[in-house]
Structure 1
Amino acid sequence: MACLKKRGTTYYAQYYVGKKQRRVSLKTDSYQVARAKLREIENRLAQGDDNPLPTKTPIADLLQAYAEHVRTHKTPKSAQADVYYLREMFGPVCDALKITSRTPSAKARKRKPKPGQDRRVRPPVVEAAFVEAITTADLSEFIDAKVRRTGIAPKTANRYREITCRMFNWATETGRIRLPQDKNPAAAVPRYKERAPEIRFLTLPQIDEQLHALRFKPQLQAMVATLIYAGLRREELLWLTMEDMDFRRGTSGGHGLIRIRAKTIGSRSWQPKTKRNRAVPISRALREHLDRYTPPASDHGWYFPSPYGTWWDPDNFSADLRDANKDAGLPWTCLDFRHTFGSQLAQNGVSLYKIATLLGNSPEICRRHYAALVPELISSEIDFGSPTACDQLLVI
């Protein structure tokens, strides 16, 4: 079906497609490598593939198509994150990866470099004439350089690998490219060993201190109380409307429910991070704070509107909370409040499955975050062996 030909020191594959003879360079002078490539060509020909050799796709074309794909199938925030990682890896080689605004945000201007990070030195991007020419070594060297020069965390380093791996998988599954030996180069990139997550949460006295510090800001106090006692994500809090707050006394033991659900308000749509609606019971402590809070007038019935009566931008809310806590000398953030909810439940003996359901997380994530808080409470429950009984059996 196919055979090797040698011209000078270079091997060629000769085969037929129908009655037409084709001869292509295998670009190697090694007989073993040439035989391996020839077997790949024969396998593809046996499957009825008239073009058994790897494709040659410009990197810009594939990145443009993939960026448009993720923006169509992912939320704007998630798609923006993927595009950022691709731009860092390959550079702004297409319109979809170009930065539309060159003015850095105030948050970016104030951000301090991480330990070991040198902003003056940028790691090189992954360069290749075609997508199919990108190797595992190219991707691994880029990620290693990123870790050395900018001090990114292992989790971030693995994120580069995961996004690139998904891009190659999508391109091959849709038939846009054919990789050499059908091997995804990103799949073989070594993963960095991620550290155990460092969970920061408030103790009961710290919760009282935090809420007391906001006593002169009633809306901000009610928002922080909701984050602490209901474990909501920041955007889940800011997307609450009057209809999402169910204060019926007969609901959930008499205190009510907070409904986290997808919605479209005006021209803006939103859905929970996990794409699943859920309801969180309102505790007695939270109900006391919400009973003292009166939602101000807003344009679309927001339960926690911005100072201008509109939807509160998450970054602006975090900045306001950070300023208020800075005045009080407190370091807590929205994520700390969410972890407080999960940590306090874990310490109270609530199962990790129930905590995951209330938080809208997977049980595995809750296990990584909160399992370490449980053993101290169940140490007495694992003592099921009786030394006395064992001694009696030995005597018998």
Structure 2
Amino acid sequence: MKTNLTQPFVKRIECEAGKSKQEFYDKEIQGFILEVRATGAKSFFIRTTVNGKRTSKKIGDAKVMDIEAARVKAIKVKRALEEQKDIILGKSTKENKKPSVITLGAFYDTYYLPHIKKHIKSYETNISVFKNHILTPFKNIPMDKISKASIMKLHSDMVVKKKLAKATANKVLIFLSSAYNIAIELELEGITENPASKIKEFTLNNAKERYLTKEETKRLLEAINTTEQNIHLKYIVPMLLLTGARRGEVLKAKHEDFNLNQMTWTIPTTKNGKKRILPITPQLLELYNKIPKDDTPYLFTSPVTGKPYVSIYNSWNSARTKAGLKDVRIHDLRHSFASALVNNGVSLYQVQSLLGHSTSTMTQRYAHLSNESLMSAASCAGSLM
């Protein structure tokens, strides 16, 4: 039976009556097994095929070893067992003593993907960067043979030759460095240094500010209402404008998160890993009631996948182009929300709370708007003269 092995599952699961033992296969690590016996004993095993034969090794007692420690050991044991596949009869002992170092492509499939899917909330970006930029040049190269110079060249060429965004090039450094750190933590054979570390990233100017005016907002909404690519876009964009929520927070919103008695929308896990509660304003309530309901728990479900949208870029791009607002990004709707608040006298502390910024640093970019409002108010004193 395949399942998602977690510590709570390991603790509560018992062998079914009438059976001497049961095996539960992990969904993440192929061959990683929890064995539960009628006697109450619980053990972790790793099972794989070596030279055409099924081999099983005990990892440890599940009542002594926790699931995370078992996973790490299971990966090491599996790697050690599968290295035996490369040993061909007749090779010299000297040759056999030098195991090959795992290639980046093999590491990505075996270790990196299971790790990010377990520990990173928005791992789709990691997958995209690896597939589009990292695996192409480095997939078949052993990880100890990828040099710092080759990584620096890739990083530079992405901006200089391919004319890609500096932020995208920096993600290559960040994700590749993280991959090496994981390999080193797992103590994989032959990987002791991180060639992607200490390479200087491109300096970014992320303080780009773009706020929609009332006239631009009207044009955008009119364009969205005539865009047929995505039936939900005419609800998603207004919701972003009315709440200042992040794109992912709106796309993954569930009906159960909306408390219409207390008039609150609870975002269970934000980008900062914390729960955030937003008020349901009269305008948001009116919008919420207009959203078509289906038999899924989500506000916005793709009719193609039956799951929340991963991206709405194509329909968004069509609408903003039609409105003559090609320079407006989806994230600028969040900026526009904050701008509207500050220009109406809301304090930066309140804006910080509504936007879910963990510190005031990010919110400070709107301070100049507050100063403009104060200047306008103070100018009223001119009437005395």
TM-score grouping bracket, smaller chain normalisation: 0.5 to 0.7
CA shift for structure 1 position 239 = 3.1
TM (norm. structure 2) is 0.58
Q: Determine if the alignment matches structure 1 residue 191 to structure 2 residue 201.
A: yes
Give CA deviations for 1:50-94 in whole Å, capped at 9, x if unaligned: xxxx99623244333333333432457x333223333445535xx
**1:188 counterpart SS class:** coil
Q: Is the 8 A contact 1:128 1:134 kept in 2?
A: no
CA shift for structure 1 position 326 = 4.5
Q: Is the 8 A contact 1:240 1:303 kept in 2?
A: yes
Alignment counterpart, residue 279 of structure 1, candidates 274, 277, 280: 277
Alignment counterpart, residue 359 of structure 1, candidates 355, 360, 364: 355
TM (norm. structure 1) is 0.57
CA shift for structure 1 position 154 = 1.9
Q: Which residue does the alignment assign to 1:298? A: 294
Q: Determine if the alignment matches structure 1 residue 83 to structure 2 residue 81.
A: no
Distance between the aligned counterparts of 1:309 and 1:55, measured in 2?
Answer: 44
2:113 is matched by which residue type in structure 1? E
Q: Determine if the alignment matches structure 1 residue 228 to structure 2 residue 241.
A: yes
Which runs of 5 or more residues in structure 2 are unaligned?
1-97, 378-385
CA shift for structure 1 position 204 = 3.5
Q: Which residue does the alignment assign to 2:109? A: 64
Give CA deviations for 1:209-253 in whole Å, capped at 9, x if unaligned: 4446667899754443221110122332233343333333xx4xx
**1:259 counterpart SS class:** strand
Q: Is the 8 A contact 2:101 2:190 kept in 1?
A: no
Q: Which residue does the alignment assign to 1:247? A: 260
Aligned length: 275
Alignment counterpart, residue 133 of structure 1, candidates 145, 168, 173: 145
Distance between the aligned counterparts of 1:304 and 1:91, measured in 2?
Answer: 33
Flag the structure with larger Rg.
Answer: 1
Q: Which residue does the alignment assign to 1:260? A: 267
Indicate how the Cα distance of structure 1 residues 239 and 68 shifts in structure 2: closer, same or farther if over 3 A, else same.
Answer: closer
Q: Is the 8 A contact 1:67 1:83 kept in 2?
A: no
Q: Which residue does the alignment assign to 1:115? A: none
Indicate how the Cα distance of structure 1 residues 298 and 195 shifts in structure 2: closer, same or farther if over 3 A, else same.
Answer: same
CA shift for structure 1 position 298 = 0.8
Give CA deviations for 1:328-350 in whole Å, capped at 9, x if unaligned: 54545532222211232344454
Q: Is the 8 A contact 1:201 1:336 kept in 2?
A: yes
Q: Is the 8 A contact 1:297 1:309 kept in 2?
A: no
Q: Is the 8 A contact 1:346 1:373 kept in 2?
A: yes
Indicate how the Cα distance of structure 1 residues 190 and 58 shifts in structure 2: closer, same or farther if over 3 A, else same.
Answer: same
Q: Which residue does the alignment assign to 2:341? A: 345
Distance between the aligned counterparts of 1:240 and 1:127, measured in 2?
Answer: 37
1:345 is matched by which residue type in structure 2? L
Give CA deviations for 1:19-78 in whole Å, capped at 9, x if unaligned: xxxxxxxxxxxxxxxxxxxxxxxxxxxxxxxxxxx99623244333333333432457x3
CA shift for structure 1 position 272 = 4.2
Distance between the aligned counterparts of 1:86 and 1:304, measured in 2?
Answer: 29
Instruction: Give matches, 1:310-325, under 5 Å.
Output: 311=307, 313-315=309-311, 317-325=312-320
Q: Which residue does the alignment assign to 2:181? A: 169
Q: Is the 8 A contact 1:296 1:309 kept in 2?
A: no
Alpha carbon RMSD of aligned pairs, Å? 3.9
Instruction: Give matches, 1:326-337, under 5 Å.
Output: 326-331=321-326, 332-337=328-333
Q: Is the 8 A contact 1:214 1:324 kept in 2?
A: yes
Distance between the aligned counterparts of 1:232 and 1:184, measured in 2?
Answer: 37
Distance between the aligned counterparts of 1:177 and 1:193, measured in 2?
Answer: 35
Q: Is the 8 A contact 2:258 2:264 kept in 1?
A: yes
Q: Is the 8 A contact 1:242 1:302 kept in 2?
A: yes
Q: Which residue does the alignment assign to 1:16? A: none
Distance between the aligned counterparts of 1:188 and 1:309, measured in 2?
Answer: 41
